[in-house]
Amino acid sequence: MFENKERTDINELGEFGLIKHLTSHFEIKNDQSVKGIGDDAAVLDAQGKQILISTDLLLEGIHFDLAYVPLVHLGYKAVQVNLSDIYAMNGVASQITVSLGLSSKFPLEAVEEIYKGIELACKKYNIDVIGGDTSSSKQGLVISITSIGYVDADKVVYRNGAQENDLLCVSGDLGGAYLGLQILEREKLIYLENPQVQPDLEGKDYIIERQLKPEARRDIVALLADMDIKPTSMIDVSDGLASEILHLATQSDKGITIYEEKIPLDPMTYETARELGLDPTVCALSGGEDYELLFTISQEDYKKLKHDVDITVIGHVTDKNSGCKMISKSEKVHELKAQGWNAFKK
Amino acid sequence: MFENKERTDINELGEFGLIKHLTSHFEIKNDQSVKGIGDDAAVLDAQGKQILISTDLLLEGIHFDLAYVPLVHLGYKAVQVNLSDIYAMNGVASQITVSLGLSSKFPLEAVEEIYKGIELACKKYNIDVIGGDTSSSKQGLVISITSIGYVDADKVVYRNGAQENDLLCVSGDLGGAYLGLQILEREKLIYLENPQVQPDLEGKDYIIERQLKPEARRDIVALLADMDIKPTSMIDVSDGLASEILHLATQSDKGITIYEEKIPLDPMTYETARELGLDPTVCALSGGEDYELLFTISQEDYKKLKHDVDITVIGHVTDKNSGCKMISKSEKVHELKAQGWNAFKK
């Protein structure tokens, strides 16, 4: 990957030198960040708000494949995936810690690429990198990010607050990230068979971007606050719509019914699914990695958001005994099952 | 390792099932923990204090060797290593998140052993497990822990506050963890050559325990508060005394002089070093992993702690130009260099 480029051995810098090299130009932007990198721990001031903490572990060969994921995108996505959890609590993310395990095949330039992506995401989302750990790895690349956010105590939205007759809403569109992955996997196989063939990604830019460079929906949290809507429950779509619906329903002790025709699909998602012989609805239900927000609102709040093109009402909350189901376009009733992405099945 | 015992495949549980199985009996003990495991993020309330965040990444083959580290000890140590960073800021640790990457060779019973150690440490130190991530790993075992602590804004102790003429103090004794590791490495080699030979760890219990089951010095933070001492600077000894002294001196823009004869060594540490042909002082200076607290206090505070047997004054802070040095037992002056444990040199 870096054969023809400059290669600087990480060992020349040592652990402290490497962290300094990678992070010394990062500026602290949030006034909750009292002390960032450089001591035993970071120091934060919540200024009276509640603190949200979320953490993710990303492992080479399980969560990403360096054969087709550019390192700068990997860094960017690793941050987004984590921020998404903070937004799913209705909070504002302000800090992350970044830990990297680097195999010896990684020159300094490769680590700089990862950090370039991290920095890009942090700039765009106003996030301070306040700590982390860097180590060599005898295995593949390991990325562990912890994100920290803030929210007023009365504004936290949990998964368990959905009430009967609430409306189920989702931001953006679904299934694109999964189909982007299918295209990347297909091109990788073609490349492995014949390295002369250039990857054919033409006309697939949107779904490839959904896979490689997802955007956590901070804007939706801000939009809901502007509309004076506090969702009754919320979760981010990381494992697929069906799996997330089951989480909201189970934790709220309710049932949820959705309508297939309401599920928002981008035309490129739809066409690519058809092209690959896949059911677009199944891609949305089980694909995952869309990082959209799925939330329930009370019926009174419907009028506040009904004209927003970026939020779609796809169903409603029912009593527990009705279970979780989808009414298909042909008006058949399907029970929803979690067949989402499961790191243990890969 | 688990050949003759019961083996349950982790895949049977799935990711959510595994987390639930491992953590459902954990009780939330701290009232800052508003919401623990089970939502997109944990919710904490700092109750007016400042928040301390520290994170560590532990990788098989780099930070630990499963050939001689029992899994229960590994879980215990992973927590201690992290808490130590919170105490080094003069804070009280209250929560951790735990992320595990598990290779397929690990049955459920092995993961339970790791969690048994984590739970033991959390019980003893009054820590809530509030989140985490669990995934399969194509590589070895990956452990990433983030710890969260609290401290009054005016009680935070940084590395950069040491003043000229301050006294340099260290808790407990040094070098033991490193010599414990040497003994374990020796016995591993003997075992690899001849698996019939039982490991000979007799009379080495203290230093083996220092390596396998270190205790973060929460008690020292409490003791200093009881004595009404706020250190001017503090760090924990993870990389070896010399490296930590250089951190305090560099960040405080001062020099530090220590006296070899003052460095606290346990008799077993001393004897084992001699037995292995090592210099006991070098083991303390460069060994690392002792997780003692190294701190500076103003001279006025000396009378408050001079009778405490668990704290030793080993030197003092000088002007920057004097640099960092050790006066040997034979009154020779040695410049201190960081030759501490460096994950990139292994």
Q: Say which of B59, B100, B147 has its CB closest to residue A138.
A: B59
B17 interfaces chain A, CB cutoff of 8 Å: no
Q: What is the mean pLDDT of residues B121-147?
A: 93
ipTM: 0.91
A252 interfaces chain B, CB cutoff of 8 Å: no
The architecture of the domain spanning B167-335 is Alpha-Beta Complex (3.90)
Question: Residue A23: what pLDDT?
Answer: 86
The alpha carbon of residue A122 is apart from the nearest alpha carbon of chain B, in Å, by 18
Inter-chain touch A137–B139, beta carbons under 8 Å: yes
Length of chain B, in residues:
346
Residue A18 has pLDDT above 90, yes or no: no
Any binding-site annotation on A205? no
Residue A1 has pLDDT above 90, yes or no: no
3-class secondary structure for chain A? CCCCCCCCCHHHCHHHHHHHHHHCCCCCCCCCEEECECECCEEEECCCCEEEEEEEEEEECCCECCCCCCHHHHHHHHHHHHHHHHHCCCCEEEEEEEEEEECCCCCHHHHHHHHHHHHHHHHHHCCEEEEEEEEECCCCCEEEEEEEEEECHHHCCCCCCCCCCCEEEEECCCCHHHHHHHHHHHHHHHHHHCCCCCCCCCCCHHHHHHHHCCCCCHHHHHHHHHCCCCCCEEEECCCCHHHHHHHHHHHHCCEEEEEHHHCCCCHHHHHHHHHCCCCHHHHHHHCCCCCCEEEEECHHHHHHHCCCCCEEEEEEEECHHHCEEEECCCCCEEECCCCCCCCCCC
Inter-chain touch B59–A158, beta carbons under 8 Å: no
Average pLDDT for chain A: 92
In the numeric block, the tokens 């452990």 are attached to B143
Residue A176 has pLDDT above 50, yes or no: yes
Average pLDDT for chain B: 92
Inter-chain touch B62–A95, beta carbons under 8 Å: no
Give residue A91's Cα distance to chain centre: 15
Contact between B235 and B252 (Cβ < 8 Å): no
Residue B346 has pLDDT above 70, yes or no: no
Q: Which of A23-27, A317-321, B69-73 has the lowest mean pLDDT?
A: A23-27
Residue B1 has pLDDT above 50, yes or no: no
**Upper half-sphere CA count for residue B159 (Cβ side, 13 Å):** 23
Any binding-site annotation on B48? no
Inter-chain touch A57–B342, beta carbons under 8 Å: no
Residue B342 has pLDDT above 70, yes or no: no
Residue B120 has pLDDT above 80, yes or no: yes
Q: In sequence order, which residues have a C-beta less than 8 Å from that of residue A109 and are 6 or more positions away? A: A2, A5, A6, A7, A8
Q: What is the mean pLDDT of residues B49-63?
A: 94
- Domain-by-domain residue ranges, chain B? 10-155, 167-335
Residue A90 has pLDDT above 90, yes or no: yes
More confident site: A105 or B224: B224
Contacts with B156 from chain A: Cβ below 8 Å: 34-35, 43
Name the DSSP class of B238: S
Residue B125 has pLDDT above 80, yes or no: yes
Distance CA A305, CA A231 (A): 12
Q: Which of A6-20, A73-87, A179-193, A296-310 has the lowest mean pLDDT?
A: A6-20
Q: What is the mean pLDDT of residues A157-183?
A: 97
In the numeric block, the tokens 């003043």 are attached to B163
A67 interfaces chain B, CB cutoff of 8 Å: no
Q: What is the mean pLDDT of residues B316-339?
A: 94
Inter-chain touch A146–B55, beta carbons under 8 Å: yes
Q: Which of A131-140, A222-231, B306-315 has the lowest mean pLDDT?
A: A131-140
Tens digits of residue pLDDT in A241-281: 999 999 999 999 999 999 999 999 999 999 999 999 999 99
Inter-chain touch A50–B57, beta carbons under 8 Å: no
- Mutation for A interface: B13, B40, B145, most A CBs within 10 A: B40
Residue B4 has pLDDT above 60, yes or no: no
Amino acid of residue B153: A
Q: What is the mean pLDDT of residues A46-53?
A: 96
Residue A97 has pLDDT above 70, yes or no: yes
Among A15-19, B116-120, B196-200, the range with the most confident prediction by mean pLDDT is B116-120
Q: Structure tokens of A58?
A: 């990303």
The alpha carbon of residue B117 is apart from the nearest alpha carbon of chain A, in Å, by 21
Question: Residue B71: what pLDDT?
Answer: 94
Residue B89 has pLDDT above 60, yes or no: yes
* Helical segments of chain B, H only: 14-23, 71-87, 108-125, 176-193, 205-212, 218-226, 241-252, 267-275, 280-286, 302-305
> Has domain A10-155 been given CATH number 3.40.50.720?
no
Question: Residue A5: what pLDDT?
Answer: 56
Length of chain A, in residues:
346
Question: Residue A103: what pLDDT?
Answer: 87
Per-window interface: B 116-145 vs A, CB < 8 A: 130-140, 142, 144
Question: Residue A342: what pLDDT?
Answer: 42
Sheet holding B333-335, edge to edge: B233-236, B293-297, B167-171, B311-318, B255-259, B324-327, B333-335
B42 interfaces chain A, CB cutoff of 8 Å: yes
Residue B307 has pLDDT above 70, yes or no: yes
% of chain A beyond a pLDDT of 90? 76
Nearest chain A residue (CA) to B43: A52
Q: Which of A152-156, A321-325, B18-22, B315-319 has the lowest mean pLDDT?
A: B18-22
Inter-chain touch B39–A159, beta carbons under 8 Å: yes
B104 interfaces chain A, CB cutoff of 8 Å: no
Rg (CA), chain A: 21
Q: What is the mean pLDDT of residues A159-167?
A: 98
Contacts with B85 from chain A: Cβ below 8 Å: 40-41
